[in-house]
Structure 1
Amino acid sequence: MKIQKLYLNTPQLEEQLQFYKNILGLPLNYKNETSIAFQIGQSELIFQHSEESKPYHFALNIPFELVEQAVEWVKERVVILKEADSDIQDFSAWKAKAIYFYDKDENIVELIGREDVKGNGDKNFSAASIISISEIGVPSTAIEKVYQSLSQVIELPIYDGSFHRFCAVGDPEGLFICINNEKKGTWFPTEDSALSSGFKIDFLEKGKEVKMVYNEKEGLFEKQ
Protein backbone atom coordinates (compact mmCIF):
# COMPACT_ATOMS: atom_id res chain seq x y z
CA MET A 1 0.00 0.00 0.00
CA LYS A 2 1.48 3.31 -1.07
CA ILE A 3 -0.03 6.30 0.70
CA GLN A 4 -0.34 9.18 -1.75
CA LYS A 5 -2.17 11.76 0.36
CA LEU A 6 -3.11 12.00 4.02
CA TYR A 7 -5.53 14.71 5.16
CA LEU A 8 -5.47 15.61 8.87
CA ASN A 9 -7.37 18.25 10.84
CA THR A 10 -5.72 21.04 12.81
CA PRO A 11 -6.96 24.03 14.85
CA GLN A 12 -3.48 25.59 14.44
CA LEU A 13 -2.93 25.97 10.73
CA GLU A 14 -0.33 28.74 10.95
CA GLU A 15 1.62 27.01 13.75
CA GLN A 16 1.72 23.76 11.78
CA LEU A 17 2.84 25.69 8.71
CA GLN A 18 5.78 27.14 10.62
CA PHE A 19 6.65 23.78 12.16
CA TYR A 20 6.69 21.64 9.03
CA LYS A 21 8.10 24.31 6.72
CA ASN A 22 10.62 26.13 8.91
CA ILE A 23 11.57 23.61 11.60
CA LEU A 24 11.43 20.34 9.65
CA GLY A 25 12.20 21.97 6.30
CA LEU A 26 9.59 20.13 4.26
CA PRO A 27 8.61 21.55 0.86
CA LEU A 28 5.34 23.49 0.94
CA ASN A 29 3.14 22.48 -1.98
CA TYR A 30 0.39 25.00 -1.37
CA LYS A 31 -1.22 27.21 1.24
CA ASN A 32 -4.66 28.80 1.36
CA GLU A 33 -7.04 30.05 4.04
CA THR A 34 -8.22 26.59 5.05
CA SER A 35 -5.39 24.16 4.29
CA ILE A 36 -1.66 23.60 3.79
CA ALA A 37 0.11 20.77 2.00
CA PHE A 38 3.65 19.44 2.26
CA GLN A 39 5.60 17.05 0.06
CA ILE A 40 6.73 14.03 2.07
CA GLY A 41 8.89 12.15 -0.41
CA GLN A 42 6.43 10.25 -2.60
CA SER A 43 3.45 11.35 -0.47
CA GLU A 44 1.61 14.55 0.38
CA LEU A 45 0.60 15.57 3.91
CA ILE A 46 -2.34 17.98 4.04
CA PHE A 47 -3.57 19.83 7.12
CA GLN A 48 -7.10 21.20 6.98
CA HIS A 49 -8.35 23.82 9.42
CA SER A 50 -10.82 22.57 12.01
CA GLU A 51 -12.03 24.33 15.15
CA GLU A 52 -11.43 21.16 17.10
CA SER A 53 -9.11 18.23 16.55
CA LYS A 54 -7.76 15.36 18.63
CA PRO A 55 -4.11 14.32 18.29
CA TYR A 56 -3.14 11.79 15.65
CA HIS A 57 -0.32 9.30 15.49
CA PHE A 58 1.28 8.87 12.08
CA ALA A 59 4.61 7.67 10.70
CA LEU A 60 6.97 8.56 7.88
CA ASN A 61 9.24 6.05 6.15
CA ILE A 62 12.95 6.90 6.20
CA PRO A 63 15.97 4.91 4.94
CA PHE A 64 16.85 2.18 7.43
CA GLU A 65 20.55 2.83 6.99
CA LEU A 66 20.14 6.49 8.00
CA VAL A 67 18.25 6.03 11.29
CA GLU A 68 21.30 6.96 13.39
CA GLN A 69 21.80 10.13 11.34
CA ALA A 70 18.09 10.90 11.62
CA VAL A 71 18.40 10.97 15.43
CA GLU A 72 20.91 13.82 15.26
CA TRP A 73 18.79 15.64 12.68
CA VAL A 74 15.70 15.39 14.91
CA LYS A 75 17.61 16.48 18.03
CA GLU A 76 18.62 19.71 16.32
CA ARG A 77 14.94 20.57 15.81
CA VAL A 78 12.69 19.00 18.45
CA VAL A 79 12.71 16.89 21.61
CA ILE A 80 12.76 13.15 21.00
CA LEU A 81 10.01 11.16 22.73
CA LYS A 82 11.53 8.13 24.41
CA GLU A 83 10.79 4.92 26.19
CA ALA A 84 13.38 4.70 28.99
CA ASP A 85 16.67 6.27 27.83
CA SER A 86 16.79 5.18 24.20
CA ASP A 87 16.41 7.70 21.36
CA ILE A 88 15.73 4.85 18.93
CA GLN A 89 13.01 2.27 19.47
CA ASP A 90 13.88 -1.14 18.06
CA PHE A 91 11.08 -3.24 16.54
CA SER A 92 13.00 -6.37 15.60
CA ALA A 93 9.87 -8.35 14.69
CA TRP A 94 9.10 -5.75 12.03
CA LYS A 95 12.78 -5.35 11.08
CA ALA A 96 12.42 -1.66 11.88
CA LYS A 97 13.72 1.17 14.06
CA ALA A 98 11.83 4.33 14.94
CA ILE A 99 12.19 7.86 16.36
CA TYR A 100 9.26 9.84 17.81
CA PHE A 101 8.46 13.52 18.40
CA TYR A 102 5.52 15.92 18.72
CA ASP A 103 4.37 18.51 16.21
CA LYS A 104 2.49 21.68 17.23
CA ASP A 105 -0.81 19.82 17.74
CA GLU A 106 0.94 17.18 19.87
CA ASN A 107 0.40 14.68 17.10
CA ILE A 108 2.91 11.90 17.64
CA VAL A 109 5.11 11.86 14.54
CA GLU A 110 7.24 8.78 13.94
CA LEU A 111 10.21 8.42 11.63
CA ILE A 112 10.54 4.71 10.91
CA GLY A 113 13.31 2.94 9.03
CA ARG A 114 12.37 -0.51 7.73
CA GLU A 115 14.73 -3.03 6.21
CA ASP A 116 11.95 -4.00 3.78
CA VAL A 117 11.45 -0.45 2.44
CA LYS A 118 14.15 0.77 0.11
CA GLY A 119 15.73 4.18 0.68
CA ASN A 120 16.34 6.84 -1.92
CA GLY A 121 20.13 6.65 -2.11
CA ASP A 122 20.89 9.62 0.16
CA LYS A 123 24.16 9.37 2.06
CA ASN A 124 23.32 12.08 4.60
CA PHE A 125 19.96 12.43 6.30
CA SER A 126 17.83 15.50 5.59
CA ALA A 127 14.14 16.30 5.03
CA ALA A 128 14.69 15.14 1.44
CA SER A 129 15.58 11.66 2.74
CA ILE A 130 12.01 10.95 3.87
CA ILE A 131 10.57 8.33 1.53
CA SER A 132 6.81 8.52 2.10
CA ILE A 133 4.00 8.54 4.64
CA SER A 134 4.12 5.14 6.28
CA GLU A 135 1.34 4.76 8.84
CA ILE A 136 -1.79 6.35 10.27
CA GLY A 137 -3.22 5.37 13.63
CA VAL A 138 -6.88 4.32 13.75
CA PRO A 139 -8.14 4.07 17.36
CA SER A 140 -11.68 2.73 17.83
CA THR A 141 -13.72 0.55 20.16
CA ALA A 142 -14.10 -2.25 17.59
CA ILE A 143 -11.16 -3.18 15.35
CA GLU A 144 -13.12 -5.84 13.48
CA LYS A 145 -15.79 -3.28 12.52
CA VAL A 146 -13.08 -0.95 11.22
CA TYR A 147 -11.49 -3.77 9.23
CA GLN A 148 -14.79 -4.88 7.73
CA SER A 149 -15.59 -1.34 6.59
CA LEU A 150 -12.13 -1.13 5.06
CA SER A 151 -12.60 -4.47 3.29
CA GLN A 152 -15.82 -3.25 1.68
CA VAL A 153 -13.71 -0.66 -0.16
CA ILE A 154 -10.46 -2.59 -0.74
CA GLU A 155 -8.99 -5.90 0.42
CA LEU A 156 -5.82 -5.39 2.45
CA PRO A 157 -3.85 -8.05 4.33
CA ILE A 158 -3.38 -8.11 8.08
CA TYR A 159 0.32 -7.45 8.61
CA ASP A 160 0.42 -8.13 12.35
CA GLY A 161 -1.89 -8.55 15.32
CA SER A 162 -5.58 -9.43 15.67
CA PHE A 163 -8.99 -7.84 16.20
CA HIS A 164 -8.70 -8.04 19.98
CA ARG A 165 -6.29 -5.23 20.87
CA PHE A 166 -3.93 -4.27 18.04
CA CYS A 167 -4.01 -4.89 14.31
CA ALA A 168 -1.66 -3.49 11.64
CA VAL A 169 -3.34 -3.66 8.23
CA GLY A 170 -1.44 -3.28 4.96
CA ASP A 171 2.25 -3.86 4.30
CA PRO A 172 5.61 -2.33 5.30
CA GLU A 173 5.20 0.51 2.78
CA GLY A 174 1.85 1.60 4.20
CA LEU A 175 -0.13 0.56 7.28
CA PHE A 176 -3.32 1.34 9.15
CA ILE A 177 -2.44 0.93 12.84
CA CYS A 178 -5.79 -0.13 14.28
CA ILE A 179 -6.03 -0.31 18.06
CA ASN A 180 -8.86 -0.88 20.51
CA ASN A 181 -8.69 2.25 22.61
CA GLU A 182 -10.57 0.58 25.44
CA LYS A 183 -8.12 -2.33 25.71
CA LYS A 184 -4.99 -0.54 24.48
CA GLY A 185 -5.81 3.02 25.34
CA THR A 186 -2.48 4.77 24.77
CA TRP A 187 0.14 5.35 22.09
CA PHE A 188 3.74 4.17 22.35
CA PRO A 189 6.09 5.59 23.59
CA THR A 190 4.32 8.48 25.35
CA GLU A 191 1.30 6.78 26.91
CA ASP A 192 -0.81 9.62 25.46
CA SER A 193 -4.48 8.68 25.12
CA ALA A 194 -5.32 7.15 21.74
CA LEU A 195 -8.30 9.25 20.66
CA SER A 196 -10.36 8.60 17.54
CA SER A 197 -9.79 11.34 14.97
CA GLY A 198 -11.28 11.63 11.51
CA PHE A 199 -9.04 11.80 8.42
CA LYS A 200 -9.03 11.31 4.67
CA ILE A 201 -6.53 9.18 2.78
CA ASP A 202 -5.65 8.42 -0.84
CA PHE A 203 -3.47 5.41 -1.60
CA LEU A 204 -2.47 2.90 -4.24
CA GLU A 205 -2.95 -0.83 -3.71
CA LYS A 206 -1.73 -3.11 -6.49
CA GLY A 207 -2.14 -0.31 -8.99
CA LYS A 208 -5.68 0.59 -7.88
CA GLU A 209 -6.34 4.13 -6.65
CA VAL A 210 -8.38 4.26 -3.44
CA LYS A 211 -9.84 7.31 -1.69
CA MET A 212 -11.40 6.91 1.75
CA VAL A 213 -12.64 8.87 4.75
CA TYR A 214 -12.39 7.60 8.30
CA ASN A 215 -15.52 8.51 10.27
CA GLU A 216 -14.39 8.60 13.89
CA LYS A 217 -17.93 8.86 15.28
CA GLU A 218 -19.07 5.68 13.54
CA GLY A 219 -15.70 4.00 13.78
CA LEU A 220 -15.58 2.96 10.13
CA PHE A 221 -14.14 3.75 6.71
CA GLU A 222 -16.26 5.15 3.91
CA LYS A 223 -15.44 5.37 0.21
CA GLN A 224 -14.89 8.96 -0.87
Structure 2
Amino acid sequence: MKITKVSARVRNARGAADFYASVLGVGVDRAPNAVSVTIGATRLVLVEDPAAEGDHHFAITVPSNKFDRAKTWIQQRAVLLGTSDADEFECSPAWNARSLYFTGHDRSVLELIIRRDLDNATAGPFTSTDLLCVSEVGVAAADVPPVAATLIDDADVAPYGDAAGSTFRPIGDADGLLIVVTPGRPWFPTTDRTAQESPVSITAVGGRPGTYRLGACGSLHVLA
Protein backbone atom coordinates (compact mmCIF):
# COMPACT_ATOMS: atom_id res chain seq x y z
CA MET A 1 0.00 0.00 0.00
CA LYS A 2 1.47 3.32 -1.06
CA ILE A 3 0.20 6.37 0.82
CA THR A 4 -0.26 9.24 -1.61
CA LYS A 5 -2.09 11.77 0.57
CA VAL A 6 -2.84 12.36 4.24
CA SER A 7 -5.23 15.04 5.51
CA ALA A 8 -5.23 15.84 9.22
CA ARG A 9 -5.98 18.62 11.72
CA VAL A 10 -3.29 20.63 13.50
CA ARG A 11 -3.54 23.31 16.15
CA ASN A 12 -1.17 25.68 14.33
CA ALA A 13 -0.91 25.48 10.54
CA ARG A 14 1.67 28.27 10.28
CA GLY A 15 3.93 26.46 12.75
CA ALA A 16 3.57 23.25 10.78
CA ALA A 17 4.44 25.06 7.55
CA ASP A 18 7.51 26.65 9.11
CA PHE A 19 8.68 23.30 10.48
CA TYR A 20 8.44 21.42 7.21
CA ALA A 21 9.96 24.25 5.17
CA SER A 22 12.82 25.24 7.45
CA VAL A 23 13.59 22.05 9.36
CA LEU A 24 12.94 19.31 6.80
CA GLY A 25 13.44 21.47 3.73
CA VAL A 26 10.54 20.02 1.76
CA GLY A 27 8.05 21.75 -0.50
CA VAL A 28 5.33 23.71 1.28
CA ASP A 29 2.25 25.45 -0.16
CA ARG A 30 0.56 27.79 2.30
CA ALA A 31 -3.11 28.72 2.29
CA PRO A 32 -5.29 30.49 4.85
CA ASN A 33 -5.51 28.17 7.86
CA ALA A 34 -3.93 25.23 6.03
CA VAL A 35 -0.69 23.95 4.56
CA SER A 36 0.11 21.36 1.92
CA VAL A 37 3.48 19.62 2.32
CA THR A 38 5.21 17.41 -0.25
CA ILE A 39 7.26 14.62 1.31
CA GLY A 40 8.58 12.56 -1.57
CA ALA A 41 5.65 10.65 -3.06
CA THR A 42 3.19 11.77 -0.36
CA ARG A 43 1.22 14.97 0.03
CA LEU A 44 0.44 15.96 3.61
CA VAL A 45 -2.45 18.41 4.01
CA LEU A 46 -2.70 19.97 7.47
CA VAL A 47 -5.78 22.03 8.30
CA GLU A 48 -5.77 24.37 11.28
CA ASP A 49 -8.14 23.54 14.12
CA PRO A 50 -7.14 25.13 17.46
CA ALA A 51 -9.34 22.58 19.26
CA ALA A 52 -7.66 19.57 17.64
CA GLU A 53 -6.98 16.81 20.15
CA GLY A 54 -4.09 14.41 20.37
CA ASP A 55 -0.67 14.25 18.79
CA HIS A 56 0.14 12.92 15.34
CA HIS A 57 2.55 10.17 14.38
CA PHE A 58 3.97 9.96 10.87
CA ALA A 59 6.92 7.84 9.72
CA ILE A 60 9.00 8.81 6.72
CA THR A 61 10.90 6.19 4.75
CA VAL A 62 14.53 7.00 3.91
CA PRO A 63 16.96 5.04 1.72
CA SER A 64 17.95 1.73 3.26
CA ASN A 65 21.68 2.53 2.98
CA LYS A 66 21.51 5.93 4.68
CA PHE A 67 20.38 5.42 8.26
CA ASP A 68 23.54 6.85 9.84
CA ARG A 69 23.60 9.79 7.43
CA ALA A 70 19.91 10.44 8.06
CA LYS A 71 20.53 10.49 11.81
CA THR A 72 23.38 12.98 11.48
CA TRP A 73 21.23 15.15 9.20
CA ILE A 74 18.15 15.26 11.44
CA GLN A 75 20.19 15.77 14.63
CA GLN A 76 21.30 19.10 13.20
CA ARG A 77 17.68 20.17 12.67
CA ALA A 78 15.39 18.65 15.30
CA VAL A 79 15.32 17.12 18.77
CA LEU A 80 15.66 13.35 18.82
CA LEU A 81 13.22 11.39 20.96
CA GLY A 82 14.35 8.26 22.74
CA THR A 83 14.45 6.21 25.90
CA SER A 84 16.92 6.51 28.75
CA ASP A 85 19.41 4.30 26.93
CA ALA A 86 18.72 4.59 23.19
CA ASP A 87 17.86 7.08 20.46
CA GLU A 88 17.64 4.60 17.59
CA PHE A 89 15.69 1.37 17.49
CA GLU A 90 15.83 -1.94 15.67
CA CYS A 91 12.32 -3.09 14.89
CA SER A 92 11.21 -6.68 15.42
CA PRO A 93 12.62 -9.21 12.91
CA ALA A 94 9.26 -9.36 11.14
CA TRP A 95 9.60 -5.66 10.24
CA ASN A 96 13.25 -5.85 9.12
CA ALA A 97 13.60 -2.14 9.77
CA ARG A 98 15.46 0.41 11.89
CA SER A 99 14.18 3.80 12.98
CA LEU A 100 14.71 6.95 14.98
CA TYR A 101 12.19 9.46 16.28
CA PHE A 102 12.18 13.24 16.58
CA THR A 103 9.95 16.10 17.64
CA GLY A 104 7.87 17.51 14.82
CA HIS A 105 5.28 20.25 14.51
CA ASP A 106 2.53 20.64 17.09
CA ARG A 107 3.94 17.95 19.46
CA SER A 108 3.91 15.37 16.69
CA VAL A 109 6.13 12.30 16.91
CA LEU A 110 7.92 11.91 13.59
CA GLU A 111 10.04 8.97 12.56
CA LEU A 112 12.72 8.26 9.99
CA ILE A 113 12.80 4.58 9.09
CA ILE A 114 14.78 2.31 6.81
CA ARG A 115 12.92 -0.73 5.52
CA ARG A 116 15.42 -3.30 4.36
CA ASP A 117 12.82 -5.14 2.29
CA LEU A 118 12.67 -2.15 -0.08
CA ASP A 119 15.21 -1.66 -2.86
CA ASN A 120 15.59 2.10 -2.46
CA ALA A 121 19.30 2.81 -1.87
CA THR A 122 20.59 6.13 -3.22
CA ALA A 123 24.04 7.60 -3.71
CA GLY A 124 25.55 10.73 -2.21
CA PRO A 125 25.03 12.63 1.03
CA PHE A 126 21.68 12.67 2.80
CA THR A 127 19.41 15.56 1.80
CA SER A 128 15.71 16.35 1.98
CA THR A 129 15.25 14.54 -1.34
CA ASP A 130 15.97 11.32 0.58
CA LEU A 131 12.70 11.75 2.47
CA LEU A 132 10.99 9.29 0.13
CA CYS A 133 7.40 9.10 1.39
CA VAL A 134 5.16 8.96 4.42
CA SER A 135 4.99 5.24 5.10
CA GLU A 136 3.17 5.19 8.45
CA VAL A 137 0.17 7.14 9.68
CA GLY A 138 -1.05 6.82 13.24
CA VAL A 139 -4.82 6.44 13.56
CA ALA A 140 -6.74 6.29 16.85
CA ALA A 141 -9.92 4.24 17.10
CA ALA A 142 -11.93 3.39 20.19
CA ASP A 143 -12.21 -0.26 19.17
CA VAL A 144 -9.13 -1.41 17.26
CA PRO A 145 -10.02 -5.00 16.24
CA PRO A 146 -13.13 -4.11 14.15
CA VAL A 147 -11.18 -1.40 12.31
CA ALA A 148 -8.40 -3.89 11.61
CA ALA A 149 -10.97 -6.43 10.41
CA THR A 150 -12.51 -3.89 8.02
CA LEU A 151 -9.10 -3.14 6.53
CA ILE A 152 -8.14 -6.79 6.23
CA ASP A 153 -11.44 -8.26 5.06
CA ASP A 154 -13.06 -5.41 3.14
CA ALA A 155 -10.15 -3.27 1.92
CA ASP A 156 -7.94 -6.32 1.32
CA VAL A 157 -5.01 -4.73 3.14
CA ALA A 158 -2.95 -7.29 5.03
CA PRO A 159 -1.88 -7.16 8.68
CA TYR A 160 1.81 -6.41 9.09
CA GLY A 161 4.53 -7.79 11.29
CA ASP A 162 3.85 -9.74 14.42
CA ALA A 163 1.61 -7.40 16.45
CA ALA A 164 -2.02 -8.43 16.77
CA GLY A 165 -3.16 -6.92 20.06
CA SER A 166 -6.42 -5.23 20.96
CA THR A 167 -4.81 -1.79 21.38
CA PHE A 168 -2.21 -1.76 18.58
CA ARG A 169 -2.49 -3.10 15.03
CA PRO A 170 -0.25 -2.26 12.07
CA ILE A 171 -2.05 -2.85 8.78
CA GLY A 172 -0.37 -2.64 5.36
CA ASP A 173 3.08 -3.45 4.06
CA ALA A 174 6.62 -2.07 3.85
CA ASP A 175 5.50 0.63 1.41
CA GLY A 176 2.73 1.97 3.64
CA LEU A 177 1.14 1.19 6.99
CA LEU A 178 -1.72 2.39 9.13
CA ILE A 179 -0.83 2.15 12.81
CA VAL A 180 -4.22 1.71 14.48
CA VAL A 181 -4.19 2.29 18.25
CA THR A 182 -6.60 3.05 21.06
CA PRO A 183 -7.11 6.68 22.15
CA GLY A 184 -4.78 7.74 24.92
CA ARG A 185 -1.98 5.39 23.89
CA PRO A 186 1.39 7.20 23.91
CA TRP A 187 3.34 7.27 20.69
CA PHE A 188 6.63 5.44 21.20
CA PRO A 189 9.14 6.41 22.50
CA THR A 190 7.32 9.16 24.43
CA THR A 191 5.08 8.86 27.46
CA ASP A 192 3.15 12.12 27.09
CA ARG A 193 2.33 12.45 23.37
CA THR A 194 -0.81 10.49 22.77
CA ALA A 195 -3.15 9.34 20.05
CA GLN A 196 -6.70 10.69 20.11
CA GLU A 197 -9.57 10.20 17.71
CA SER A 198 -9.50 13.10 15.25
CA PRO A 199 -10.44 13.64 11.60
CA VAL A 200 -7.80 12.02 9.41
CA SER A 201 -8.17 10.98 5.81
CA ILE A 202 -5.65 8.75 4.06
CA THR A 203 -5.53 8.15 0.31
CA ALA A 204 -3.56 5.15 -0.90
CA VAL A 205 -2.94 2.81 -3.81
CA GLY A 206 -3.08 -0.90 -3.09
CA GLY A 207 -5.92 -2.99 -1.78
CA ARG A 208 -9.54 -3.06 -2.89
CA PRO A 209 -10.72 0.33 -4.24
CA GLY A 210 -13.25 2.04 -2.02
CA THR A 211 -13.66 4.16 1.09
CA TYR A 212 -13.36 2.57 4.51
CA ARG A 213 -14.09 3.97 7.95
CA LEU A 214 -11.29 4.16 10.50
CA GLY A 215 -13.19 4.52 13.74
CA ALA A 216 -15.35 7.56 14.44
CA CYS A 217 -13.30 10.19 12.62
CA GLY A 218 -10.94 8.59 10.13
CA SER A 219 -11.20 7.17 6.62
CA LEU A 220 -9.07 5.32 4.10
CA HIS A 221 -9.63 5.95 0.41
CA VAL A 222 -8.12 3.25 -1.79
CA LEU A 223 -7.74 4.34 -5.40
CA ALA A 224 -8.24 2.06 -8.36
TM-score over 0.5 (shorter chain): yes
- Matched-pair contact (CA < 8 Å) for 1:203–1:210: no
| Deviations, residues 28-66 of structure 1 (Å, cap 9, x unaligned) | 2x2211321111111111111212222111111111211
- Matched-pair contact (CA < 8 Å) for 2:159–2:169: yes
Secondary structure at the counterpart of residue 63 of structure 1: coil
Distance 1:134 1:80 in 2: 19
Identical-residue share of aligned pairs (%): 25
Residues 180 and 12 from structure 1, CA distance in 2 versus in 1: closer, same or farther, beyond 3 angstroms? closer
Partner of 2:69: 69
Residues 196 and 73 from structure 1, CA distance in 2 versus in 1: closer, same or farther, beyond 3 angstroms? same
Partner of 1:11: 11
TM-fit CA distance, 1:145: 1.9
Matches within 5 A, 1:27-46: 27-28=27-28, 30-46=29-45
Matches within 5 A, 1:42-121: 42-53=41-52, 54-93=54-93, 94-119=95-120, 121=122
Give the stretch that moved more between structures: 54-63 or 113-122: 113-122
Partner of 1:169: 171
Distance 1:220 1:17 in 2: 23
Distance 1:120 1:37 in 2: 27
Aligned length in residues: 218
Distance 2:11 2:212 in 1: 22
Distance 2:156 2:49 in 1: 31
Residue 178 in structure 1 maps to residue 180 in structure 2: yes
Matches within 5 A, 1:178-197: 178-181=180-183, 185-192=185-192, 193-197=194-198
TM-fit CA distance, 1:202: 0.8
Secondary structure at the counterpart of residue 74 of structure 1: helix
Secondary structure at the counterpart of residue 58 of structure 1: strand
TM-fit CA distance, 1:89: 1.1
Partner of 1:205: 206
Uncovered stretches (5+) of structure 1, i.e. residues with no partner: none
- Matched-pair contact (CA < 8 Å) for 2:200–2:217: no
TM-score when normalising by structure 2: 0.87
Residues 172 and 26 from structure 1, CA distance in 2 versus in 1: closer, same or farther, beyond 3 angstroms? same
TM-score when normalising by structure 1: 0.87
